Chains A and B, each alone.
Chain A
Amino acid sequence: MNRHLENGDAEFGLLANGSSTGWRVSVDESLDSVNHWSLEIDGPQFYLVVQLKDLASVAATLNFLRNPTPTAPPVTLGKFGFAWASLVWDDEPPNRCFVVIQTGKSALRLTLQPEDVEMLKEAFQQVVADLPEDLMKPNKESPPSKRAQ
């Protein structure tokens, strides 16, 4: 791992961002490494940064937020340390969504209310519009595909 990343003094470049009311979403690129991006979600209830496997996952997240489907598989936001952070729809109304970070017997679940989902969707729309199209190709590395528990 890069020394800067370990020490926390790494510099990033803002690649794309979006906002809606209380939410800010941005994709930052490492200035030291090739193809190293992070997704930052700053909202009223929490602040989250995950490492993206590719930029196509940002568009996948937007598609997920646009289609509330309880049976849909979770969408992967990115890596949180050794765990994957995902979004999963609730299976009962209203259209709540959960951010789930789970590894082994440990889990963190954050609830997004329907109004938060709408705002996040708007912010992600702006982020996707801001991203360079030539960087949007998917990476072949596969996160877990099973539905989060």
Chain B
Amino acid sequence: MSPGLADKVVEQIGKAGLPISGSTPFVPRLTKNRRGDYVIVKQAVSIGPKKGKKGFLDSQGRIWLRDRAHADVPDHRDVQLRGGEEYFRVDMNGNELR
């Protein structure tokens, strides 16, 4: 976990079930809202079959979507690249699924 994150942000990442360890942990993109509080940025996928579904934006501009177990893969995150043009899978421990 990145140092200096507000307790509320850390708690929200935990409730969202985003991995904070492993080889590919989720590192949030933060911004200030109108009240001056830091918030995690979310964005919807803009292309592909997941278009319209919102996920969590990371520090590299990738959108982390929740996906359920299917095709012999346990519950995981689809990490969408360039708005959904490509993606890779990360398990709940922050390790890439291949």
Residues of A within 8 A of B95 (CB): none
Report the nearest B residue to A38, measured CB to CB. B54
Report the Cα distance A18→B8, complex, angstroms.
12
Report whether B15 and A18 are in contact in the complex, using a CB–CB cutoff of 8 Å: yes
Report whether B42 and A12 are in contact in the complex, using a CB–CB cutoff of 8 Å: yes
Report whether B40 and A14 are in contact in the complex, using a CB–CB cutoff of 8 Å: yes
Residues of A within 8 A of B93 (CB): none
Instruction: Select which of A9, A10, A17, A31 is within 8 A of B33 by beta carbon.
Output: A31
Report the Cα distance A19→B12, complex, angstroms.
10
The count of residues in chain B whose C-beta lies closer than 8 Å to any C-beta of chain A is 25
Report whether B42 and A11 are in contact in the complex, using a CB–CB cutoff of 8 Å: yes
Residues of A within 8 A of B41 (CB): 11-14, 31
Report whether B54 and A49 are in contact in the complex, using a CB–CB cutoff of 8 Å: yes
With an 8 A cutoff between CB atoms, is B83 at the interface? Answer: yes
B38 to chain A, nearest CB (A): 9
Report whether B16 and A34 are in contact in the complex, using a CB–CB cutoff of 8 Å: no
Report whether A24 and B17 are in contact in the complex, using a CB–CB cutoff of 8 Å: yes
Residues of A within 8 A of B39 (CB): 13-15, 29
Would A7 and B54 be within 8 Å (CB), given that A19-B15, A24-B16, A29-B39 are in contact? no
Which of B40, B53, B68 counts the most A-chain CB atoms under 10 A from its CB?
B40
**Interface-located stretch among A40-48, A53-61, A80-88, A91-99:** A40-48
Report the Cα distance A132→B39, complex, angstroms.
13
With an 8 A cutoff between CB atoms, is B52 at the interface? Answer: yes
Report the Cα distance A16→B42, complex, angstroms.
12
Q: Which residues of B contact A (CB under 8 A)?
A: 8, 12, 15-17, 31, 33-35, 39-44, 46, 51-54, 56-57, 66, 68, 83
CB-defined A-B contacts under 8 Å, sample of 14: A9-B43, A9-B46, A9-B83, A11-B31, A11-B57, A12-B42, A12-B54, A13-B31, A13-B42, A15-B33, A16-B12, A29-B33, A29-B39, A31-B33
Known: A24-B17, A47-B53, A132-B35. 9 other contacts (CB 8 A): A12-B43, A13-B41, A14-B16, A17-B12, A24-B15, A24-B16, A26-B16, A42-B66, A49-B54
